[in-house]
Structure 1
Amino acid sequence: MKILYDFQIFSNQNVGGISRYIYELITQFDQDNFIDWEIPVIYSSNIYLKKHPFFSKKLLPHPFQLKDNVNFISKAAFVKEKLLYKITNQIHKERFLVMEYEKNKALNIEKIKQGNFDIFHPTYFDSYFMDYIGDKTYVLTIHDLINQVFPEMMLYQPDKNKAMIERADRIITVSENTKKDLINIFNVDEQKIDVIYLANSLEEKSGHVSEEFKKKIPEKYLLFVGGRLDYKNFLFFAQMFASLKLKNNDLNIVCTGSPFNASEQYLFNKLGIQDCVYNTFVNDDELIYLYQNAIAFVFPSVYEGFGLPVLEAFSCGCPAVISNSSSLSEIGEDAAVYFEPKNPESILNALKNVVNNPALREEKIAKGYEQLKKFSWEKTANQTKEVYKKALLKV
């Protein structure tokens, strides 16, 4: 059985849950003689794809690196010309990324037209393939429906259109909660949907973090992992942290991901917590270190299709304090401490209980290890293979 995955998520995402999902699937299928796969891609900066032996030497290098070595006579001229230089480079970089996307897309269209595959499995929600797929079997994974559930919170609207969902022979959702949303919003036949959980990719280990990195991290901190869009509820968490810190003066927040923006920095200053909120972009080893040494991992999101960081925390022996919304209680069960994501008293009580109660932290760490046993990429791949079989049989 040959599966054609497309390029989309590997052009859209350098790092993240969806591209990791596809990477873990193909890694498992490498050990399965029944499954053959292909991902037509010329350019990609995705870190997981670059790790795979097939792509590590095949991908063309990304030609753009912003250079910061301009020298000018006066400070004013330096600032002005340097800014112009950066803007020009950014424009060229964005043009290249569009070109990169279109070249990958053209290659994928050609592969779809050739039809040398049994099942097509797109990796994201550009419906470009609908004009070319004909009657070939196709499987779609729905990770979440955040755009439909909370459209007011989203800056963009990926093309998750009804025609694309209706055309799919089988649909995979990554949680029962996402399945429920799919049925309620798009009226999809329940018999067409298979729920397949994701899994953890971090292996608990230590000793691979530099002393320089360790020195940047405060001794006592709560950990926030991932993006900070509105639905992630980070700013609400920051406000609650300011109240918590009144009686826990040595407590900090450590965030992973993109640098803080101006609005976030303004709020930190207003709350008086600007000196105890840290941000760093990390590799897997550094992320493991952060989980292992945190007082707790805090996940205040109002909506998640699955919630991979919850399993990451479990795998690293980090107590998880998470909202009881969407799929999170489904994934965490009794291994986490829960709160109402928009209730100040609820989140403060949850944080106080975990910060001030070592016995509770130890209890949740032990339960987290047990809960983690229910998830594995091997199980995800095996269940996905069964969905592919059902799709081919049209059942």
Structure 2
Amino acid sequence: MFQYAESLLEALREMQSNGHEVCVAYLSHNWEKKLLSYPFKNVQMKCGRWSLNLSNVLMALKIPGSFSRFLSHILSPVVWQLAKLDCDLWIFPAQDALSYQVKVPVVATVHDLMHRYESSFPEVSRLRRGNIRDHRFSQLTQWARTVLVDSEVGKMHVHESYGTELEKIQVLPYIAPGHIVNSQDLWNFDQKYPLPKKFIFYPAQFWAHKNHQRLISAAAALRSDYPDIHLVFTGMKNKAYSEVYAHAEKMGMLDHVTFQEYVPDQDLVGFYRRARAMMMPTFFGPTNIPPLEAFACGCPTAVSGIYGMPEQVGDAALLFDPNSESDIASTMKRLWSDDQLCHELSQRGLEKAQRWGLPAFAKKLQEILLKSPHSL
């Protein structure tokens, strides 16, 4: 969500140069340094932690939006400050509960509704998370003037889940984040990250829905024909990491898998540029940002052929069934063995990144905002 917020800031920079005044309200000190590079009026919200805690309590108790707005207007310092700034429209990029609890015109965001479509995964279902998320999104979509989604599939998910009018839901696909598009390799990258000469890259946290284990099983199936097959994973060693590691050990693949742990955003470019390909067997969508990062770096790509991912990648990536180890293995074999295919995918990805980048994203955002019910 930070990456999406960053893309919105860059798009709004374009809009401000076209005569619109932009104000950024932020709660975390982490944004302070980042915002210095933008020509916006920046206002840090006072008592932000209290306001966020109040917002989350109202959401967890499933207080209806109308009463939440009433209580927030009385109790939340952030709500008071946003109202006092008197802006025509506020964009909330992080799909948080505060977006339906403020009494100001709002453009809200729904990144995904996987708690409804992939509820078997504990990361979206345990501890009543599914019910709480459902309440949040039902209220968010009801009270927002406009709802941003990532794809046509995301638009239909919101419509069929909450009955939101189709005209109210606007598709604004993700773009590759600036730290990928504008980054260069570290001068000492190869010393800092001693990687194999050839590898399949998968940058993802170790959530169960990321499906690392089937990727390992697919590589194991190819090992006899391709003894140099190798996977590189980046992600903090938490969540379902122990299960993934145990599976690699069980399959005899520990010498064929690199667990790189956390990699700073600015270092990811080096992984994409050195990888034979990026494969993403996730069960979640509708779309994801890593394929866009791979495209921008010219890295051949293959992704799960579900939800909005075929719409996102077009002919610039291969598609496979994330439930099928044999289909994943077949796709991996093509990428590992076919130089011409990888070259073609690299070129298509670069071309797609050129067509849908910041200028197109900014233009689309401006069109959406100008036709919002509370237009600028």
Same fold (TM over 0.5): yes
**1 CA distance for matches of 2:85 and 2:34?**
28
For 1:158-173, list aligned pairs within 5 A. 158=133, 160-173=136-149
Q: Which residue of 1 aligns with 2:108?
A: 140
Q: Which residue of 1 aligns with 2:23?
A: 37
- CA shift at 1:300, angstroms? 0.8
After superposition, the Cα gap between the structure-2 partners of 1:193 and 1:248, relative to the gap in structure 1 and judged at 3 Å, is same
Query: Are the equivalent residues in 1 in contact too, given 2:99–2:108 (CA < 8 A)?
Result: no
| Per-residue deviation, residues 344-381 of structure 1 (Å, max 9, x unmatched) | 22111111111011111111111112222221222222
- CA shift at 1:325, angstroms? 0.8
Q: Which residue of 2 aligns with 1:3?
A: none
Query: Are the equivalent residues in 1 in contact too, given 2:150–2:287 (CA < 8 A)?
Result: yes
Query: Are the equivalent residues in 1 in contact too, given 2:88–2:374 (CA < 8 A)?
Result: no
- CA shift at 1:26, angstroms? 4.2
- CA shift at 1:319, angstroms? 0.6
After superposition, the Cα gap between the structure-2 partners of 1:165 and 1:120, relative to the gap in structure 1 and judged at 3 Å, is same
Q: Which residue of 2 aligns with 1:268?
A: 248
After superposition, the Cα gap between the structure-2 partners of 1:162 and 1:362, relative to the gap in structure 1 and judged at 3 Å, is same
- CA shift at 1:284, angstroms? 3.9
**1 CA distance for matches of 2:372 and 2:262?**
40
- Structure 2's unaligned 5+ residue stretches are 57-75
**2 CA distance for matches of 1:249 and 1:366?**
28
- CA shift at 1:54, angstroms? 5.5
SS in 2 for 1:321: strand
Query: Are the equivalent residues in 2 in contact too, given 1:221–1:295 (CA < 8 A)?
Result: yes
Q: Which residue of 2 aligns with 1:224?
A: 202
**2 CA distance for matches of 1:271 and 1:351?**
17
After superposition, the Cα gap between the structure-2 partners of 1:367 and 1:228, relative to the gap in structure 1 and judged at 3 Å, is same
SS in 1 for 2:331: helix
After TM superposition, the structure 1 stretch with the greater mean CA deviation from structure 2, 327-336 or 274-283, is 274-283
For 1:326-337, list aligned pairs within 5 A. 326-337=307-318
In the alignment, structure 1 residue 116 sits paired with structure 2 residue 116: no
**2 CA distance for matches of 1:45 and 1:331?**
31
| Per-residue deviation, residues 89-112 of structure 1 (Å, max 9, x unmatched) | xxxxxxxx9679559995522323
Q: Which residue of 2 aligns with 1:196?
A: 172
**1 CA distance for matches of 2:359 and 2:263?**
26
- CA shift at 1:282, angstroms? 2.2
| Per-residue deviation, residues 146-176 of structure 1 (Å, max 9, x unmatched) | 1221122142434533122111111111111
The residue identity in structure 2 corresponding to 1:179 is K
For 1:264-343, list aligned pairs within 5 A. 264-278=244-258, 279-343=260-324
**1 CA distance for matches of 2:253 and 2:29?**
38
- Structure 1's unaligned 5+ residue stretches are 1-8, 10-15, 61-96
The residue identity in structure 2 corresponding to 1:266 is A
**2 CA distance for matches of 1:303 and 1:320?**
17
SS in 2 for 1:218: coil
**2 CA distance for matches of 1:371 and 1:131?**
38
SS in 2 for 1:151: coil
SS in 2 for 1:372: helix
In the alignment, structure 1 residue 236 sits paired with structure 2 residue 214: yes
Q: Which residue of 2 aligns with 1:257?
A: 235
Query: Are the equivalent residues in 2 in contact too, given 1:137–1:391 (CA < 8 A)?
Result: no
Q: Which residue of 1 aligns with 2:36?
A: 53
The residue identity in structure 2 corresponding to 1:341 is P
| Per-residue deviation, residues 183-233 of structure 1 (Å, max 9, x unmatched) | 121122111111112212322764424155455212221000122322222
**2 CA distance for matches of 1:129 and 1:356?**
49
After superposition, the Cα gap between the structure-2 partners of 1:114 and 1:51, relative to the gap in structure 1 and judged at 3 Å, is closer
| Per-residue deviation, residues 292-334 of structure 1 (Å, max 9, x unmatched) | 1111100111222322211211111111011111111111111
Q: Which residue of 2 aligns with 1:179?
A: 155
**2 CA distance for matches of 1:39 and 1:307?**
26
The residue identity in structure 2 corresponding to 1:360 is L
SS in 2 for 1:155: helix
**2 CA distance for matches of 1:32 and 1:194?**
22
**2 CA distance for matches of 1:209 and 1:305?**
36
After superposition, the Cα gap between the structure-2 partners of 1:268 and 1:45, relative to the gap in structure 1 and judged at 3 Å, is farther
After superposition, the Cα gap between the structure-2 partners of 1:132 and 1:307, relative to the gap in structure 1 and judged at 3 Å, is closer
- CA shift at 1:129, angstroms? 5.1
| Per-residue deviation, residues 112-151 of structure 1 (Å, max 9, x unmatched) | 3425211122233332454441xx3211122211122112
Q: Percent identity between the aligned chains?
A: 19
In the alignment, structure 1 residue 21 sits paired with structure 2 residue 7: yes
After superposition, the Cα gap between the structure-2 partners of 1:246 and 1:381, relative to the gap in structure 1 and judged at 3 Å, is same
After TM superposition, the structure 1 stretch with the greater mean CA deviation from structure 2, 124-133 or 241-250, is 124-133
**2 CA distance for matches of 1:315 and 1:306?**
16
Give the TM-score normalised by structure 1: 0.76
The residue identity in structure 2 corresponding to 1:148 is R
Match of 2:341 among 345, 360, 373: 360
State how many pairs are aligned: 339
SS in 1 for 2:158: helix
**2 CA distance for matches of 1:272 and 1:100?**
50
SS in 1 for 2:224: coil
After superposition, the Cα gap between the structure-2 partners of 1:332 and 1:392, relative to the gap in structure 1 and judged at 3 Å, is same
